[in-house]
């Protein structure tokens, strides 16, 4: 890790938040952008929400970005710019759970606490050939006890770093490096031939499919309309083109106007249909989203709509969008003849 040698609690915290459920290669560019934009926690605390969301754009799990800013402001105002230096104190920060608190406490403050993350679950389950599922309350307690025993009196800072490196490089989820593993001789799963089956999980993933129709509106002067997502759904705080969601696939563009959630401010009769995109599929962890972009001209676009943002299309880049949208915008040529 580039930040491995760094003792700055701010950077350790920032990197740990970014790396939650995220691969190092994916998170690293974001870490560098954040450090460049906000060298200290006070700089981050002073940032605008929209600016932080924009920097986080594309990384996913956007509650992390919202909590990041909340926590930074908490540290800046309530703690005088200094992070809490204990596991318990760190847990009070939004977005800091058991793993992240232990990581920061050990790496930044030398506290004697063991981390329990995906790597550690995997290594322990395999080494002890342990069939206890990792995704239950009981399982977490069980493995926490095991890792606490494994840590013993060793330096938590070194142990935590070592066990996670070991999980990232040797005892990996797939294509394990058992042939060069220094623990292979003592590994229960290796002896039993169960390495590929561990760790066990109890719950299976449920998925639902949704059909999103985005309305890309253009007046004669290069303007379009976007809205900010709110509520409890995905992509909270991000922007999107006005959205109609349908229960069924293959809905005609003309039929959208009679949908429940057709915007009340948008007179369907004033729109000129230009084109619709082919359906595109986007796989999220719990949702499969099929998107269709419908292009319209709206010659007499009204200039103020409550809760909506009307802007020149070349300024779209200043707002944070879900990948579904940015990916579509990257195919710039599709928009050229519209605006």
Partner DNA sequence: AAGACGGGGGG
Partner DNA sequence: CCCCCAGTCTT
Q: How far is the CB of 12 from DNA (least distance, A)?
A: 9
Q: Cα dihedral angle (235, 237, 241, 244), rounded to 10 degrees? A: 60
Q: Is 165 in the site for DNA (CB under 7 A)?
A: yes
Whether residue 185 lies in the annotated active site: no
314, exposed or middle or buried, with CB in 10 Å at 0-12, 13-18, 19+? exposed
Q: Is 130 in the site for DNA (CB under 7 A)?
A: no
Question: Rounded to an integer, what distance in angstroms lies between the CA atom of residue 41 and that of residue 47?
Answer: 10
Q: How far is the CB of 265 from DNA (least distance, A)?
A: 25
The stretch among 151-159, 231-239, 256-264, 294-302 that binds DNA (CB under 7 A) is 231-239
Q: Is 60 in the site for DNA (CB under 7 A)?
A: yes
Question: Rounded to an integer, what distance in angstroms lies between the CA atom of residue 89 and that of residue 81?
Answer: 14
Q: Return the number of the residue (13 or 298) whose C-beta is nearest DNA.
A: 13
Q: Is 202 in the site for DNA (CB under 7 A)?
A: yes
The interface with DNA within residues 9-48 (CB under 7 A) comprises: 16, 19-26
Question: Rounded to an integer, what distance in angstroms lies between the CA atom of residue 269 and that of residue 173?
Answer: 55
Q: How far is the CB of 9 from DNA (least distance, A)?
A: 15
DSSP letters, 162-204, are HHHHHHHHTS-SSS--GGG-TTGGG-HHHHHT-GGG-S-----
Q: How far is the CB of 2 from DNA (least distance, A)?
A: 10
Q: Return the number of the residue (74 or 218) whose C-beta is nearest DNA.
A: 74
Q: Is 188 in the site for DNA (CB under 7 A)?
A: no
Question: Rounded to an integer, what distance in angstroms lies between the CA atom of residue 327 and that of residue 280?
Answer: 11
- Cβ count within 10 A of residue 162: 12
Q: How far is the CB of 305 from DNA (least distance, A)?
A: 25
Binding track over 253-292 against DNA, x by CB under 7 A: ----------------------------xxxxxxx-----
The stretch among 41-49, 62-70, 74-82, 216-224 that binds DNA (CB under 7 A) is 62-70
Instruction: Tell me if 103 sits within 8 A of 12, measured CB to CB.
Output: yes
Query: CB under 8 Å, gap of 24 or more: what pairs does 75-82 form?
Result: 75/41, 75/45, 76/41, 76/42, 76/45, 76/46, 77/45, 81/40, 81/41, 81/42, 82/9
The stretch among 178-186, 227-235, 251-259, 260-268 that binds DNA (CB under 7 A) is 227-235
Instruction: Tell me if 187 sits within 8 A of 127, measured CB to CB.
Output: yes
* Residues facing 288 on adjacent strands: 209, 283
> Which DSSP letter does residue 88 get?
H
Q: Return the number of the residue (79 or 339) whose C-beta is nearest DNA.
A: 79
| Candidate list 42, 43, 50, 61; residue touching DNA; CB under 7 A | 61
List interacting residues with DNA (CB under 7 A).
Answer: 1, 4, 16, 19-26, 58-63, 67, 94-101, 103, 117-119, 121-122, 136-138, 161, 164-165, 167-168, 173-175, 201-206, 232-236, 281-287, 322-324
Task: Please give the positions annotated as active site.
Answer: 16
């Amino acid at each position: 890790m580039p930040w491995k040698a760094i003792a700055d609690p701010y950077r350790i915290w920032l990197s740990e938040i970014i790396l939650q459920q995220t691969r190092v290669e994916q998170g690293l560019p974001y870490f560098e952008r954040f450090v460049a934009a906000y060298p200290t926690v006070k700089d981050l605390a002073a940032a605008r929400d929209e600016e932080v969301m924009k920097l986080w754009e594309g990384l996913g799990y956007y509650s992390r970005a919202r909590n990041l800013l909340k926590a930074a402001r908490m540290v800046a105002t309530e703690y005088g710019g200094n992070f809490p230096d204990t596991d318990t104190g760190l847990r009070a920060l939004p977005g800091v759970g058991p793993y992240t608190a232990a990581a920061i406490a050990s790496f930044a403050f030398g506290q004697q606490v063991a981390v329990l993350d995906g790597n550690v679950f995997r290594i322990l389950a395999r080494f002890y050939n342990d069939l206890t599922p990792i995704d239950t309350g009981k399982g977490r307690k069980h493995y926490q006890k095991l890792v606490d025993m494994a840590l013993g009196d060793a330096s938590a800072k070194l142990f935590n770093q070592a066990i996670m490196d070991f999980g990232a490089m040797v005892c990996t989820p797939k294509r394990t490096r058992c042939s060069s593993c220094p623990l292979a001789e003592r590994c229960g799963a290796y002896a039993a031939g169960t390495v590929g089956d561990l760790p066990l999980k109890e719950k299976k993933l449920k998925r639902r499919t949704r059909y999103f129709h985005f309305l890309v509106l253009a007046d004669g002067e290069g303007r379009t309309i976007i809205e900010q997502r709110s509520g409890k759904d995905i992509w909270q705080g991000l922007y999107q083109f006005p959205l109609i969601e349908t229960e069924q696939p293959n809905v005609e563009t003309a039929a959208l106007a009679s949908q429940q959630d057709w915007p009340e401010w948008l007179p369907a009769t004033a729109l000129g249909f230009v084109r619709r995109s082919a359906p595109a599929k986007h796989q999220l962890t719990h949702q499969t989203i099929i998107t269709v972009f419908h292009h319209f001209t709206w010659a007499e676009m009204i200039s103020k709509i409550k809760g909506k943002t009307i802007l020149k299309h070349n300024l779209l880049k200043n707002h944070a969008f879900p990948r579904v949208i940015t990916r579509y915008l990257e195919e710039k040529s599709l928009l050229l003849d519209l605006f």
